[in-house]
Amino acid sequence: MATRGPKKTPGRAEREFLSESEEILERMRDDLGACLERASAGAELAPDVLNRLFRSAHSLKGLSGMFGLESLAELAHRIEDLLDAWRLGRAQPTPERLALFEESVELFGHALEQLAGGGLDAGFGDTVAALIARIAAENAPSTAPQSAESGAIDAPPALLRALTEYEEHRLRENLARGRSIHVVTAVLQLASFEDRLSEISTALREVGELLSTLPSPGDGGPGEIRFALLVASELDAASLAARLELSPAAIHTARAGRRDPGANSASSAELPRTEAEPAAAADAREGAPETETATLRSVSDTVRVDVRKLDELMNLVGELALERGALSEFARRLGAEPGLARLGAELDKIHKALDRKLQDLQASVIEVRMVPLRQVFDKLSRVARRLRLDLGKQARLEIKGADTELDKLIVEELVDPLMHIVRNAFDHALETPEERRAVGKPAEGVIRLEATQRGNDVVITVADDGRGIDAQRVLAKAIERGLVPPTAQLSQREMLDLVFAPGLSTRSEVTETSGRGVGMDVVRSNVSALGGIASVDSALGVGTTLTLTLPITLAIIQALVVGVGEERYAIPLNAVREVLIPGADALQRSGTRELLALRGDALPVLRLRDEFAVRSGTPAIKPFAVILGLGDARLALLVDRLEGQRDTVIKPIQGPVRSVRGVAGATDLGDRSAVLVLDVAALVSSAPRAEAA
């Protein structure tokens, strides 16, 4: 039979490409952020950061090219050209050029998103072409102001021969600045050279610029390796040796600097030391924080794992948990057999030990999936920085709790909703400085982004001190749009909640900043797709707080399994408030709606059999009411029977139908049949509003 093994993983090459490109792009964004900060402080950009950016663009170009993504390769190529000109000193990174660079990086990010979603948008090539044209206009070739200084350097020829063009440029640049050039030699054990080498490199970067590292075989046999490090520094050989705790013999001065007391250069006397000192100190600082060695070392004991692999691992753990359940059942039956009670008890003991280990395993696997929110928060502060420039609003973003950890998949899905909320805050919520002064607020607005862990949830709040939401205006708008009947009597909270309703925007025009057609309704649906809740609180004139409550992990949830006809469904237990069998008079009709009277409240009722059009079996005469609650909203879900509580792994439903109302995913309870998992947030919000009539 032509059955293919399950090992065939189509799209692996694409996934590999996307994951590596995203990693590179993320590094570029960080480096870009560092550059923008230095540029806005009027400082010179650190050469090694520029070089790293160049290398990143270079890698993106190579990867895109191999994939036949011509437009992307071309874009990366142009970014690379920009950076190459900067790092080789042929052009200056002006604010305009930096902005173009930033735009290019963002565009590349969009491209990766589109590719992950199935392919590049039709108009993408044009967008790239337009940007490339602008870069070309901005980055017109200029004559290279090559530093005339090169001259003879007393360094091993092999070392000089292996310099790249960039390294040679840096060498000239340092010579022009009058720094000394030294060759540091270190003979290390081949088996363990990395630690010591990175120690030396880090130390060298603190006192100057490391230009090149040339390895050669050691004299002491194959177990040794010799490194020649070419370094430019203000220090002379003796001070350098002292700083590095190396023998002075290990350092050879290839060219003495102008400020070196022992320099043979005639120009040394012309430079007054007092003026040179601060510049030297600034240069040393410039090199210091950008040590690459630290990241290098951390890479070596870190493994990059595809989240999908972790999903597989999680599934296996889930399946093990199911097998364990069978074992427990067997132990119970064994114990009930006459004469076998002792065996049963022993088996039960083994089962309990297994259970503990399994829980540890589960916890470890979940832990591996956890990443800090920092990644997302960093992105947001970059966006905030740009908005501040674009909108001319005085505002700062304060961040707290960036170390809070969440499932990697959730973190990824949070980027868009959070981005939208922050943009909204800048765009709509904060007043102009003049307006703020007029009402006695400080001109600078504050947006506080905070994450905290509460039990199995992570709560993220975005609070601004802006103008607040006018609840009455929201209500009027909702009535105008026909979203609520004109007679509706809503509480303040319910009125505010209408901002999440589809098709409602309190500002009619779409703005550049928070436009893009994404509304708060999308924020809410994104968040509920992750099993979370979005809510809003606001006081007019004081500010608005948006709160997102999210589960820490999507991986394993506790579920209540219910039955309707021949079908079974799983309900995430965190949404189940209570279960009861309603008395005959508790269920009441009110017009077209059915209500459940519960301790003085009237809850909307949804019969799952009707909602999902289940035809098998006959409706139970005394159905169970599962009371679902998310935030303040509650719903009574009527089902035929309860089948118990289970740990389950929610899986996405693969196939042509992308999403189904009321279904969050599916799970296999261990009997090789699929059970749908209910999307409680969707069910609760689709139920008719239980307003006081």
Partner 1 sequence: MSAAASRSWDVLARAAAARSAAVETRVQRELLVFSLAGTHYALPIERVREIVRPRALTPMPHVPAEILGVLSLRGEIVQVIDTRHRFRLASVPPSRGSRVIVMSGEHGDVTGLLVDGVHEVLRVDEGELRPPTTADGGLITALAPRGEGFVSLVSPEHVVKFDAGG
Partner 2 sequence: MQRVLIVEDSQTMREWIAAVLEEVEPPLKVDLAASGFEALRLLPRQQYDLIITDINMPDIHGLEVISFARSDARHAHTPLVIVSTESSEEDRRRGLALGANAYLVKPFAAPDLARIVSDLLSGSMP
Residues of the shown chain interacting with partner 1 in the complex, contacts defined by CB under 8 A: 1-6, 8-15, 17, 66-68, 118, 315, 318-319, 567, 611-614, 649, 651-657, 660-663, 665-668, 672-676
Q: For Cα atoms 61, 62, 64, give the angle at the middle one, nearest 5 degrees.
A: 65
Query: Binding to partner 2 by residue 11, rule CB under 8 A?
Result: no
Amino acid at 239: S
Taking the complex as a whole, the smallest distance from the CB of residue 538 to partner 2 amounts, in Å, to 47
Residue 693's alpha-carbon distances to 5, 241, 479, 627, in angstroms, are 61, 85, 16, 22
Footprint (CB under 8 A) of partner 2, residues 52-111: 52, 55, 58-59, 61-63, 65-66, 68, 73, 77, 80-81, 84
DSSP 8-state secondary structure symbol assigned to residue 628: E
Identify the helix (H) or strand (E) that includes residue 497: helix 492-497
Which one of partner 1, partner 2, none interacts with residue 657, CB within 5 to 8 A by kind?
partner 1
Query: Binding to partner 2 by residue 46, rule CB under 8 A?
Result: no
For tokens 């609840």, name the residue.
471
Query: Binding to partner 2 by residue 161, rule CB under 8 A?
Result: yes
Query: Binding to partner 2 by residue 112, rule CB under 8 A?
Result: no
For tokens 């297994």, name the residue.
354
Which one of partner 1, partner 2, none interacts with residue 591, CB within 5 to 8 A by kind?
none
Token digits for 346?
A: 């022993």
Which one of partner 2, partner 1, none interacts with residue 377, CB within 5 to 8 A by kind?
none
Report the residue number, 12 or 333, with the smaller CB distance to partner 1. Answer: 12
442 CB neighbour count, 10 Å cutoff:
11
The strand pairing partners of 399, in sequence order, are: 449
Figure out which of the listed residues 150, 164, 267, 590 binds partner 2, where binding follows CB under 8 A. 164
For tokens 């159905």, name the residue.
623
Taking the complex as a whole, the smallest distance from the CB of residue 322 to partner 1 amounts, in Å, to 10
The closest of 251, 208, 258 to 233, measured between CA atoms, is 208
Taking the complex as a whole, the smallest distance from the CB of residue 246 to partner 2 amounts, in Å, to 20
Residue 516 CB partners (closer than 8 Å, separation 6+) = 510
Query: Binding to partner 2 by residue 306, rule CB under 8 A?
Result: no
Taking the complex as a whole, the smallest distance from the CB of residue 211 to partner 2 amounts, in Å, to 12
Figure out which of the listed residues 217, 220, 442, 541 binds partner 2, where binding follows CB under 8 A. 217
Report the residue number, 118 or 222, with the smaller CB distance to partner 1. Answer: 118
Figure out which of the listed residues 49, 214, 460, 608 binds partner 2, where binding follows CB under 8 A. 214
601-607 and 633-639 beta bridge pairing = parallel
Which one of partner 1, partner 2, none interacts with residue 194, CB within 5 to 8 A by kind?
partner 2
| Three-class DSSP category at 216 | strand
Q: Alpha helices of 89-164 — where are they, by DSSP H?
A: 95-116, 124-138, 157-161
Report the residue number, 16 or 390, with the smaller CB distance to partner 2. Answer: 16
Report the residue number, 165 or 312, with the smaller CB distance to partner 2. Answer: 165
Sign of CA dihedral 328, 331, 336, 342: negative
383-391 long-range contacts, CB within 8 A, separation 24+: 383/419, 383/422, 383/423, 384/422, 384/426, 384/447, 385/33, 385/36, 386/102, 387/422, 387/423, 387/426, 387/427, 387/513, 388/426, 390/512, 390/513, 391/426, 391/427, 391/513
* φ, ψ for residue 324, nearest 5 deg: -60, -40
Report the residue number, 17 or 193, with the smaller CB distance to partner 1. Answer: 17
Taking the complex as a whole, the smallest distance from the CB of residue 305 to partner 2 amounts, in Å, to 12
Query: Binding to partner 2 by residue 34, rule CB under 8 A?
Result: no
Which one of partner 1, partner 2, none interacts with residue 261, CB within 5 to 8 A by kind?
none
Which one of partner 1, partner 2, none interacts with residue 347, CB within 5 to 8 A by kind?
none
**What residues line the site for partner 2 (CB under 8 A)?**
13, 16-17, 20, 52, 55, 58-59, 61-63, 65-66, 68, 73, 77, 80-81, 84, 158, 161-165, 190-191, 193-194, 212-217, 222, 225, 292, 296, 304
